[in-house]
Amino acid sequence: MRVTIFGSGYVGLVTGACLADAGNHVVCVDVDAAKIERLKRGDIPIHEPGLDALIKRNAEAGRIEFTTDAAKGIEHGLFQLIAVGTPPGEDGSADLRYVLAVARTIGTHLNRYAIVITKSTVPVGTADKVRAELTRTLSERGAKVEFDVVSNPEFLKEGAAITDFMKPDRVVIGTDNPRTTELMRALYEPFTRNHDRLIVMDIRSSELTKYAANSMLATKISFMNELAGIAERVGADIEKVRIGIGSDPRIGYSFIYPGTGYGGSCFPKDVQALIRSAREVNHEPRILEAVEEVNARQKEVLFHKIGRHFSGELKGRVFALWGLAFKPNTDDMREAPSVALIELLIKAGARVVAYDPIAGAEAQRVFAGRAGFTLARSAYEAVDKADALAIVTEWQEFRSPDFERLRQLLKQPVVFDGRNLYDPGMVARFGLTYYAIGRGTPAAHA
> Cα-atom radius of gyration of the chain, to the nearest Å?
24
* Single-letter residue type at 155: F
Count the alpha carbons within 13 Å of 446 in the hemisphere toward its beta carbon.
4
The answer to whether 159 touches 330, Cβ cutoff 8 Å, is yes
Q: Which of 17, 74, 100, 266 is catalytic?
A: 266
Cα–Cα distance between 259 and 393 in angstroms, integer?
Answer: 9
> Own/partner pairs for 229-233, CB < 8 Å, 24+ apart?
229/438, 230/438, 231/438, 231/439, 232/438, 232/439, 232/440, 232/442, 232/445, 233/442
Q: Is the dihedral of CA 358, 363, 368, 373 positive or negative?
A: negative
Measure the CA–CA gap between 341 and 323, rounded to whole angstroms: 11
C-alpha 177/C-alpha 199 separation (Å) is 14
First to last CA, the chain: 61
Check: CB of residue 155 under 8 Å from CB of residue 131. Answer: no
Go through 34-45 and write b for each residue having 16 or more CB atoms within 10 A of its CB, e for each that does not.
Answer: ebbeebeeeebe
Sign of CA dihedral 98, 100, 103, 108: negative
Phi, psi of 400 (to 5 degrees): -140, 70
Which one-letter DSSP state was computed for residue 88? B
| DSSP codes of every residue in 253-322 | STT---SS---SSSHHHHHHHHHHHHHHTT---HHHHHHHHHHHHHTTHHHHHHHHHTTT--TT-EEEEE
Q: Which residues pair with 66 in a beta bridge?
A: 28
**Is residue 266 among the annotated active site residues?**
yes
Strand arrangement of the beta sheet that strand 2-6 belongs to = 64-67, 25-29, 2-6, 79-82, 114-118, 147-151, 171-174, 198-201
The residues assigned a catalytic role are 266
